[in-house]
Copies of this chain bind each other. A is one copy, B any other.
Amino acid sequence: MSIIKYDVIPLVVIKRLPRYHRVLSELSAKGIGRISSQELAATMKITASQLRQDLSCFGSFGQQGYGYRVDQLLTEVNQILGLNYGTGMILVGAGFLGKALVNYENFQKRGFTIQAVFDQDPEVVGQSVNGIKVSNVSGLATYLQKNPTEIGIICTPAPAAQEVADVMVQSGIKGIWNFAPISLKVPEGVHVEHVHISESLMVLSFKIRQQYPNGD
């Protein structure tokens, strides 16, 4: 099911969607039921015209003069983002970062569940991480053939990442969330989101050194 009106939504709009999700979740948690487009734009730190453009990409939500209903907008954003669908994930590389992700509650809350964890280190295989027993990565392909999974998380060191990605792709994974510091090659139809953790550290360093004005 797709509620998208446009064939291809500009990437810059897509990248703002998680922020809409966050802002709307916070408004909803505060019990705010309705918000004007001016206020929502200000909270999102975008212009009112950008806001209108963004929302027009997904269909029309607001009513002239009445603003937006927060819960309704949040539901729509969740649907667009594919949240709360019970998306299955597996993770390869149970080092500190891998373990941190398995223990991270925010995914679960949004409908993303890590169902299996793999590593190649015999000392790590068999360990229990947040209730999940770490399996040997040699069984990854067999597992995925028996348990088709949408998203694969790669937390291995860089040299192992491409090989793991290849197995994932051959076994039907549709999206890779890559924390390894290496660009992955994947065929058409498979998506990769590469998390560059240090990029925001560089931005922070820049702002400190250049006495950049506050705010994000």
Give complex CA distance A150, B192 in Å.
34
- Segment with Cβ contacts to B, from A18-26, A32-40, A66-74: A18-26
Contact call B8/A212, Cβ cutoff below 8 A: yes
Give complex CA distance A83, B201 in Å.
10
Q: Bits for A200-216, please: 1 = Cβ < 8 Å to B, else 0.
A: 11111111111011101
Give complex CA distance A42, B118 in Å.
37
- A residues neighboring B (CB under 8 Å): 2, 4, 8-9, 11, 14-15, 17-19, 21-22, 80-83, 85, 87, 95-97, 99-101, 103-104, 106-107, 110, 112, 150-151, 174-177, 181, 188-210, 212-214, 216
Please give me the residue from chain B that is nearest to A3 by CB atom. B210
How many subunits of this chain does the assembly comprise?
2
Contact call A81/B18, Cβ cutoff below 8 A: no
Please give me the residue from chain B that is nearest to A174 by CB atom. B208
Contact call A210/B95, Cβ cutoff below 8 A: no
Residues of B within 8 A of A14 (CB): 203, 206-207, 212
Assuming the contacts A97-B100, A203-B15, A214-B188, asked whether A107 and B208 have C-beta atoms less than 8 A apart, the reply is: no
Contact call B17/A106, Cβ cutoff below 8 A: no
Residues of B within 8 A of A101 (CB): 197
Residues of B within 8 A of A209 (CB): 2, 82, 85
